[in-house]
């Protein structure tokens, strides 16, 4: 026994002083994420059963926030919803096929949201699927379907846990960044606990995360719910280090710590942990700087968790142009679906995923594996992305949202003449005319896709993009 103890303490000591990850090692760890560019967010839990309604009345706010919006006491919320949750129509493989068909390379599903309900049968609580009429683990079949179809399985996990007696914030607050709501949240599971113990809470949090990492091997741990003052920068750093030792290949977003700039999602200071930024419901005007990974998470309607009332569905045009815009700035698009309590993705979501997939079947190479636009500003109505061509040269993709009346696309600032140009989906080479800094391509309305048309420009090396100096600058 002694020998093993010595061994385990040595390995602990060794891991405590594991050499810091080099930039090259981090780039290798982040590579699949940065090439993916497009993923599916899934918000699913007992709140999906409530569908935004309580006692027959709609509750304002997002579907997954219904306990807070309705100030539903933990015992009532748990008794009613845990007793009803029975997703008999759940078909994880169909979900993965729908995501893959849309061109999504990864899936992030809520393992546990703010209400604390777990979609797997955790050993650390019975506030989980094991105590519902459904009983079976919901994460494992999805992870297996992801593995089968080559889609990366990832999990969202809320730090804030309204059900846990040791969660330390008694009132909804924003860690000092906004007026504190002085009204104690008496509906929360910690309301009756005079002395919540955050060390005990953190041990529970780490224990559940170890279950997820060990049993489901997620590619990303997508944290949220870090904003209340119960969670500190010190705990964020500790949790990040703990998880990176648990699985060195794991990617962890910047909501594990306290450094995100609200909905902008930027990491405000190098001291804060997290491998990428997380803008929410918005697309930054530009990227976050060279080699800074980020991902905009957005809903398809207004809510993350299913709500019968929410029929504010975004159009296919908005969704596809969001994807293009985000990729042109070097980011990922994490697009949400909110399945019903019975386990079905709403048909309105499936229709949009199919439409995105139809566009991606022809134009996906202008999104997957690309990097940000080389143009400071594009002179056409659209965007641009960049890729390393198979022959080692450079490929510039020109995304057109509309065609000028004369059909002439002028590629301002492009100094190097493209070697060749084609419309994605059509093989006929396009004629290039004009001059340095104003090469042009003539298209007709018949060439155009109603949402976005893509021209691929080929260069043997690195093209020169240069904004000509103004007379004052000369």
| Span interacting with ligand GLC, options 8-16, 50-58, 61-69, 79-87, rule CB under 6 A | 61-69
Least gap, CB of 449 to ligand GLC (angstroms): 30
Name residues contacting ligand GLC, limited to 231-290 (CB under 6 A): 280
CA distance 281 to 300: 10
- 304 near ligand GLC, rule: CB under 6 A: yes
**Beta carbons of 164 and 204 less than 8 angstroms apart:** yes
Q: How many chain residues are in contact with ligand GLC, going by CB under 6 A?
A: 8
| CA proximity to 258, closest of 372, 148, 175, 196 | 175
Residues 62, 160, 230, 456: which binds ligand GLC (CB under 6 A)?
62
What are 73's two structure tokens? 């006491």
**Beta carbons of 135 and 90 less than 8 angstroms apart:** no
- 146 near ligand GLC, rule: CB under 6 A: no
Q: What is the 3-state secondary structure (H, E, C) of 18-73?
A: CCCCCHHHHHHHHHHHHHHCEEEEECCCHHHHHCCEECCEECCCCHHHHHHHCCCC
125/278 with CB nearer ligand GLC:
278
Residues 64, 115, 128, 226: which binds ligand GLC (CB under 6 A)?
64
69/434 with CB nearer ligand GLC:
69
64/121 with CB nearer ligand GLC:
64
305/418 with CB nearer ligand GLC:
305
| Span interacting with ligand GLC, options 60-68, 97-105, 170-178, 441-449, rule CB under 6 A | 60-68
- 226 near ligand GLC, rule: CB under 6 A: no
In terms of DSSP bridges, do strands 453-459 and 420-423 run parallel, antiparallel, or are they unpaired?
A: antiparallel
3-state secondary structure (DSSP) of residue 446: helix
What are 234's two structure tokens? 């010190």
Beta strands in 142-259 (DSSP E): 152-158, 220-224, 251-252
- 297 near ligand GLC, rule: CB under 6 A: yes
- 154 near ligand GLC, rule: CB under 6 A: no
- 44 near ligand GLC, rule: CB under 6 A: no
111/371 with CB nearer ligand GLC:
111
Sheet holding 152-158, edge to edge: 251-252, 220-224, 152-158, 106-112, 38-42, 332-337, 295-298
- 224 near ligand GLC, rule: CB under 6 A: yes
| Residues contributing to the site for ligand GLC (CB under 6 A) | 43, 62, 64-65, 224, 280, 297, 304
């Amino acid at each position: 026994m002694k020998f093993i103890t010595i061994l385990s303490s040595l390995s602990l000591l060794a891991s405590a002083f594991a050499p810091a990850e080099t930039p090259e090692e981090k780039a290798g760890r982040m590579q699949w994420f940065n090439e993916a560019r497009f993923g599916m967010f899934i918000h699913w839990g007992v709140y999906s059963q409530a569908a935004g309604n309580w006692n027959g009345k709609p509750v304002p706010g997002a579907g997954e926030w219904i306990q807070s919006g309705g100030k539903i006491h933990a015992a009532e919320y748990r008794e009613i919803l845990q007793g009803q949750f029975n997703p008999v129509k759940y078909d994880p493989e169909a979900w993965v096929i729908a995501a893959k068909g849309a061109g999504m390379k990864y899936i992030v599903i809520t393992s546990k949201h703010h209400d604390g309900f777990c979609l797997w049968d955790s050993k650390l609580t019975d506030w989980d699927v094991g105590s519902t009429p459904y009983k079976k683990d919901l994460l494992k079949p999805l992870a297996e379907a992801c593995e089968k179809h080559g889609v990366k399985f990832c999990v969202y996990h809320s730090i804030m846990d309204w059900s846990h007696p040791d969660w330390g914030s008694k009132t909804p607050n924003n860690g000092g960044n906004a007026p504190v709501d002085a009204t104690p949240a008496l509906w929360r599971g910690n309301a009756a606990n005079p002395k919540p113990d955050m060390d005990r809470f953190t041990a529970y949090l780490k224990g559940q995360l170890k279950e997820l990492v060990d049993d489901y091997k997620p590619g990303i741990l997508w944290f949220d719910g870090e904003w209340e003052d119960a969670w500190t920068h010190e705990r964020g750093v500790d949790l990040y280090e703990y998880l990176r030792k648990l699985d060195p290949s794991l990617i962890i977003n910047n909501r594990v710590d306290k450094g995100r700039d609200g909905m902008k999602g930027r990491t405000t200071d190098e001291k804060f942990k997290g491998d990428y930024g997380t803008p929410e419901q918005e697309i930054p005007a530009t990227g976050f700087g060279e080699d800074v990974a980020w991902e905009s998470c957005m809903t398809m309607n207004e809510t993350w968790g299913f709500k019968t009332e929410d029929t504010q569905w975004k159009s296919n045009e908005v969704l596809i142009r969001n994807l293009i815009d985000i990729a042109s700035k070097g980011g990922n698009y994490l697009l949400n679906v909110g399945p019903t309590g019975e386990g079905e993705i709403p048909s309105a979501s499936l229709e949009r995923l199919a439409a995105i997939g139809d566009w991606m079947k022809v134009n996906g190479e202008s999104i997957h594996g690309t990097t940000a636009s080389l143009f400071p500003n594009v002179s056409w109505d659209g965007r641009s992305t960049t890729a390393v061509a198979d022959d080692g040269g450079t490929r510039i993709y020109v995304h057109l949202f509309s065609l000028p009346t004369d059909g002439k696309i002028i590629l301002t600032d492009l100094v190097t003449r493209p070697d060749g140009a084609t419309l994605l989906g059509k093989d006929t080479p396009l004629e290039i005319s004009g001059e340095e800094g104003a090469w042009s391509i003539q298209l007709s309305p018949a060439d155009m896709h109603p949402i976005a048309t893509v021209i691929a420009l080929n260069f043997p090396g690195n093209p020169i993009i240069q904004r000509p100096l103004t007379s004052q600058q000369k």
